[in-house]
Structure 1
Amino acid sequence: MKRMFLLASTFLMLSFLLADNAISKKERSYATKLLKDTEKAVFEQVKGLTPAQLMFKPAPDRWSVEECVKHIAASEEMLWGQAEATLKQAANPEKKSEIKVTDEQLVQKVEDRTNKVKTVEKLQPENIPLKSTEEALDSFKKNREKLIDFIKSTNEDLRSHIATMPFGSIDSYQFVLFIAAHSNRHTQQIMEVKADPNFPK
């Protein structure tokens, strides 16, 4: 009986320690809402588009709606894989001082399309194995659901796992925000394509 009590006490103590390191309710809510809202926006922008509209390119060097969706889906999978890899490594809270952006600043920076960025070769539409808009949307939805489930339930100390990105350092919580903001960045790109005067009616 005494041993059982000791085990129970240890379990409770560990639970409290985990809870102390977990993200706050406000942080969890903010990330979940951002993930859901940006997912919804992708589906809303492609809903009802014809094959001609999906394939239309405003210029030879511009992406079509379908290419944007393929990029969103492939990026979602790759970025989430990178985020998971960061969490599997030892926590490195000593690098927190290297983070130069707030959560809100990070989201705004990623979503700002006035700052043009060339993607890596792997994520160029022609190098993505997804065959259609439908296949890309299915992949995106599956990976986004995994990410939403993760952020709603995790007790990981996301703020103490720091990743070094090409634009600077972010913690693993910000990595999740980055993924959500990235999909919105390219949702805006889809809207730009649809706003082109030559977009098929």
Structure 2
Amino acid sequence: MFVRFSETRDLVHRTAHGLTPQQLQYRPGASRWSVAENLEHITIVEQNILASLANTLQNQPAPEKKSAVSDGQLLANFGRVVQPLTAPERLLPTSRWPLGDLLNEFDAARQRTIEFATTAADTKELRLYFMPHPFFGELDCYQWFILAAGHSARHCNQCAAIKESAGFPR
């Protein structure tokens, strides 16, 4: 899990490295997000997952529950778009941070996630606590950490497509 957090953190940095403000804000279509919007969304989602996990781990464990999918299924789809999802309004990018702060905000969120995962792994049996996902169904908290890292990779892949689009500023 921790290796994936490091790998996807580095991927996010490679995705944004050297991009000009014009490139960060380029949208390949009216309904498509820019690289900057993807980066903001990644950060917002990571912050929300962490807050939800912290709340969930305050509940009683549910050893009778089982995840709707296996770790293998999550890892097989790691970073891929399995099914396009519409983000809830609270997770939509709104340009809440200046372009120059996007990576710092992401780094801070990722660092908090890593610190929390380290602490939670030491103190809780993450497989006994569950949260619903809108596509995958019930996931245990360990799987949510897998999903957080995969979500970053998924949006970096979307950013790669933006950067390869014909109208992307060179």
Structure 2 length normalisation: TM-score?
0.91
Aligned positions of 1:34-183 closer than 5 A:
34-96=4-66, 99-109=67-77, 111-126=79-94, 130-153=96-119, 154-155=121-122, 156-167=124-135, 168-183=137-152
Question: Which moved further from structure 2: 160-169 or 85-94?
Answer: 160-169
Q: Tell me the distance in 2 between the aligned counterparts of 1:84 and 1:107.
A: 23
- Higher Rg: 1
Paired amino acid for 1:119:
A
How far does residue 177 in structure 1 lie from its aligned partner after superposition? 0.8
Paired amino acid for 1:68:
N
Q: Tell me the distance in 2 between the aligned counterparts of 1:62 and 1:173.
A: 31
Matching residue of 1:191: 160
Q: Tell me the distance in 2 between the aligned counterparts of 1:164 and 1:147.
A: 19
SS in 2 for 1:170: strand
Q: Tell me the distance in 2 between the aligned counterparts of 1:108 and 1:134.
A: 34
Segments of 5+ residues of structure 2 without an aligned counterpart are: none
Segments of 5+ residues of structure 1 without an aligned counterpart are: 1-30
Q: What root-mean-square deviation, in Å, do the aligned CA atoms of Structure 1 and Structure 2 show?
A: 1.5
Deviations 1:154-182 (A, max 9, x none): 32110111222223111111111111111
Kindly indicate whether the alpha-carbon contact (under 8 Å) linking 2:131 and 2:140 is maintained by their aligned counterparts in 1.
yes
Deviations 1:111-164 (A, max 9, x none): 2225211110111213xx622233222121112112222333432110111222
Paired amino acid for 1:66:
A
- Name the count of aligned residue pairs: 167
**Runs of 4 or more off by more than 4 Å in structure 1?**
none
SS in 1 for 2:57: helix
How far does residue 107 in structure 1 lie from its aligned partner after superposition? 3.3
Kindly indicate whether the alpha-carbon contact (under 8 Å) linking 2:21 and 2:99 is maintained by their aligned counterparts in 1.
no
Q: Tell me the distance in 2 between the aligned counterparts of 1:120 and 1:108.
A: 25
